[in-house]
Amino acid sequence: MSARVVHVPGSPFLLSRRRCCALAVALAGSAVAVATPATAAEQRAPTRERVHREAEQLLREGGYVNAAILTRDGRECAEGYAGPADLRTGRPVPRDAQLRIGSATKTFVATVVLQLVAEGRLSLTDPVDKWLPGVVAGNGNDGRRVTVRHLLQHTSGLHNYSNELPDTAAGFEQARLRGSDPHELVAGAMRFAPSFPPDDPADPAPNWEYSNTNYVLAGMIVRRVTGRSWAEEVRSRVVRPLGLADTYAPGNDPTLRAPYAHSYHRFADRGAWVDTTIRNMTWGDAAGEMISTHADLDRFFTALLRGRLLPPAQLARMCDTVPMPADFEQVMPGVRYGLGLMRQPLPGGGFRWGHGGDIEGTKIRMGVTEDGRRSAVIVVNGTYADDEHELTAEVSVQRLIDRLLAPVAS
């Protein structure tokens, strides 16, 4: 098997294909990766005590600084927290904390694009060049061949500009407050040849590679079609109709609104935690800039799957998935990608839908059942540059979501 660099969904860290598979196989038999299934009594309904225990266990398994979990079954909802929100003061993790959602932003943006498709204002088959002439060009990149669907599905082959961002503590500190422009981000990606040519829409297993460049371009197309930024369109089309009072794109504001828990990351060149809470997120743009809360994320993804945001035809297109590479399957068995939405099978049958998000310091994972009845949103702060540690922690989070979404015992 040849070594190929792959990007874990929504994550800042890179793994070689060979190492990813080897570690995942090793993790499958490790004590850390095997979690104790919930008893029938624990599955009757989410309780604060159970979720608190799960948060504490996740903290131990993943080596995180803090963890917060929201889980829901119908109208029954429970939250659990563990660890200090701030290493300096030791204060506890607050309820309704603001958090950076990273790549979960993509689902909001994809929803807006598909609403515009439903309105007949653009098509998934439109080439990028129709709306952004000359933007995707050079070094083998061709905006006449890349379509809107390719962007939303990550089948464009376009280079991921965020692969070139600083991955050291020194680089992070230098860039922490620096603003970015979407044209600048895309231009950076165009310095590299595409990984592969855009796929054939009829191919059931197209080439697939995660690239934040795709969604920055999607956001630029939203502006060209509507005359307003992707953030304004998300606010008017999604945030306001659903009453998501704590969901927004911060732009150049590097702060979080209180209350919030601090995020921390261990960079490879620093032997201690680096507080990554305060930072300018315009480098994420439509691919990962937004801020939200557990409750707002739950409300958004549940409303989306229940058909409150898209007509049936467009929701079906969003849920029309393609396989992701074997690298991802090793850690997230059966995972597939739609248009800004990921699908994974549940051990007891059925599927969970959602989208993860990672930035240095914070990991978000979530799942909502197909009927929207059960959901789980997990946020942990305290991430590592070490690939092996992150893979171990990822398996723990994935299995916790499966436990929380297990059918309620009768």
CATH number of the CATH domain containing 260: 3.40.710.10
**Is residue 32 in some structural domain?**
no
Looking at every residue in the chain, the average pLDDT score rounds to: 89
Q: Quote the distance between the C-alpha of residue 99 and its chain's center.
A: 13
Locus of tokens 């800042």: 12
**Is residue 299 in some structural domain?**
yes
Residue range 276-312, pLDDT digits in tens: 999 999 999 999 999 999 999 999 999 999 999 999 9
pLDDT of residue 43: 52
- Nearest 10 degrees: Cα torsion 181, 260, 233, 336: 90
pLDDT of residue 392: 87
**Is residue 30 in some structural domain?**
no
The pairing of strands 351-354 and 357-359 is unpaired
Distance CA 145, CA 136 (A): 10
Q: Which residue from 281, 282, 189, 291 is spatially nearest to 235, judged by alpha carbons? A: 291
Q: Number of structural domains, the chain?
A: 1
The pairing of strands 351-354 and 137-138 is unpaired
Task: Give the pair of three-digit tokens for residue 140.
Answer: 């083998």
Q: What percent of the chain has pLDDT over 90?
A: 80
**Is residue 129 in some structural domain?**
yes
Q: 196 CB contacts (<8 Å, ≥6 apart)?
A: 157, 207, 209
pLDDT of 406 strictly over 50: yes
pLDDT of residue 30: 36
Domain carrying residue 96: 47-404
Residue range 20-34, pLDDT digits in tens: 333 333 333 333 333
Q: 6 CB contacts (<8 Å, ≥6 apart)?
A: 14, 15, 16, 17, 20, 209, 210, 325, 327, 328
402 in Cβ contact with 344 (< 8 Å): no
pTM: 0.91
**Is residue 258 in some structural domain?**
yes
Locus of tokens 């653009």: 122
- Band (pLDDT 50/70/90 cuts) for residue 388 is confident
To 10 degrees, what angle do helices 48-62 and 387-404 make?
A: 160
**Is residue 37 in some structural domain?**
no
381 in Cβ contact with 66 (< 8 Å): yes
Residue range 205-242, pLDDT digits in tens: 899 999 999 999 999 999 999 999 999 999 999 999 99
pLDDT of residue 200: 83
pLDDT of residue 408: 62
**Is residue 120 in some structural domain?**
yes
Residue range 75-121, pLDDT digits in tens: 899 999 999 999 999 999 999 999 999 999 999 999 999 999 999 99
pLDDT of residue 44: 54
**Is residue 14 in some structural domain?**
no
pLDDT of 175 strictly over 50: yes
Mean pLDDT, residues 396-404: 93
Q: Quote the distance between the C-alpha of residue 137 and its chain's center.
A: 27
pLDDT of 40 strictly over 50: no
Task: Give the pair of three-digit tokens for residue 212.
Answer: 């934040």
